[in-house]
Amino acid sequence: MEGRLQVDVITIFPGMLEGFLGESMLKRAARAGHVEFRTIHLRDFTHDRHRTTDDRPYGGGPGMVMKPEPVFEAVESVRRPDSRVILMTPQGRRFDQAMARELAGATHLVFVCGHYEGVDERIRTGLATDEISIGDYVLTNGVLPAAVVIDSVVRLRPGVLGGEGATVEESFSDGLLEYPQYTRPPEFRGLRVPEVLVSGDHEAVRRWRRTMSIERTAQRRPDLAGGAAQDGN
């Protein structure tokens, strides 16, 4: 995971990413040299006066399908031997924290963001090394899902969040939801911080946090509460 991560996003809506990539943690990560972002306008790889990126599907049916030619040219303009070419698609592997950690170890991520009814199947079979979905619902295009993945991945790169342990005790980091968090004041509108958190007993705090993570996961996400919740304190 050493060195800088290169992230390229291929889309017909590059403006959707400008504000997102230029704010908060992602902006700081780029300024510090941990990551470099490039947005690639798919229409720059078309060869007709209308800059066409889509066409009617063979066999009929509603909607339009993204053409293979400009997508292949766009990917090939940036692809390297170490590139992972990610197609954002509802048919892809469900994105989770384990996949975020996997992708955080890459050196070059190329996101292909579809639009319209979908993409020509040859893009999937001929270009994509990974197909990713962020959930079982449909969005207008692949830019928003790509942004979700980018944020989740970049924050795991060394140095991006400061301390090396900054991402260790978070939801899903060990298969559990995170424990409740409190800060000052110790009492607010009759609601008090649990006494164990102000006790100064670090081992008691650790046990409380572990217990609360297990209980919260069992209550809110029982699908996650299996293996990680069974190893006790």
Question: Between 123 and 169, where is the model more confident?
Answer: 123
Task: Write the DSSP assignment of 85-108 as a string of letters.
Answer: EEEEEEEEEEP-HHHHHHHHT-SE
120 CB contacts (<8 Å, ≥6 apart)? 65, 66, 67, 68, 71
Question: Between 175 and 4, where is the model more confident?
Answer: 4
- Mean local confidence (pLDDT), 185-208: 96
The maximal CA–CA distance of the chain, rounded, in angstroms, is 70
Contact 75, 10 (CB under 8 A): yes
Residue 161 lies in a domain: no
Question: Which pLDDT does position 138 carry in this prediction?
Answer: 87
User: Has residue 232 got a pLDDT over 50?
Assistant: no
16 and 123 assigned to the same domain:
yes
64 and 125 assigned to the same domain:
yes
Question: Which pLDDT does position 228 carry in this prediction?
Answer: 52
35 and 133 assigned to the same domain:
yes
16 and 98 assigned to the same domain:
yes
115 and 178 assigned to the same domain:
no
149 and 181 assigned to the same domain:
no
Residue 159 lies in a domain: no
Range of the domain at 186: 169-233
128 and 51 assigned to the same domain:
yes
Question: Which pLDDT does position 165 carry in this prediction?
Answer: 45
134 and 203 assigned to the same domain:
no
Confidence band of 77 (pLDDT split at 50, 70, 90): very high
The domain total for the chain is 2
191 and 139 assigned to the same domain:
no
132 and 223 assigned to the same domain:
no
3-state secondary structure of 117: coil
> What CATH number does the domain containing 228 carry?
1.10.1270.20
> What CATH number does the domain containing 135 carry?
3.40.1280.10
CA 185 to chain centre: 34
pLDDT, tens digit, for every residue of 12-59?
A: 999 999 899 999 999 999 999 999 999 999 999 999 999 999 999 999
148 and 173 assigned to the same domain:
no
Confidence band of 166 (pLDDT split at 50, 70, 90): low
The percent of residues above 70 in pLDDT, for the chain, comes to: 91
Task: Give the tokens for residue 27.
Answer: 């902006």
Q: Using alpha carbons, list the distances in angstroms from residue 191 to 41, 91, 182, 185, 212.
A: 51, 45, 11, 10, 18
Question: Which pLDDT does position 84 carry in this prediction?
Answer: 98
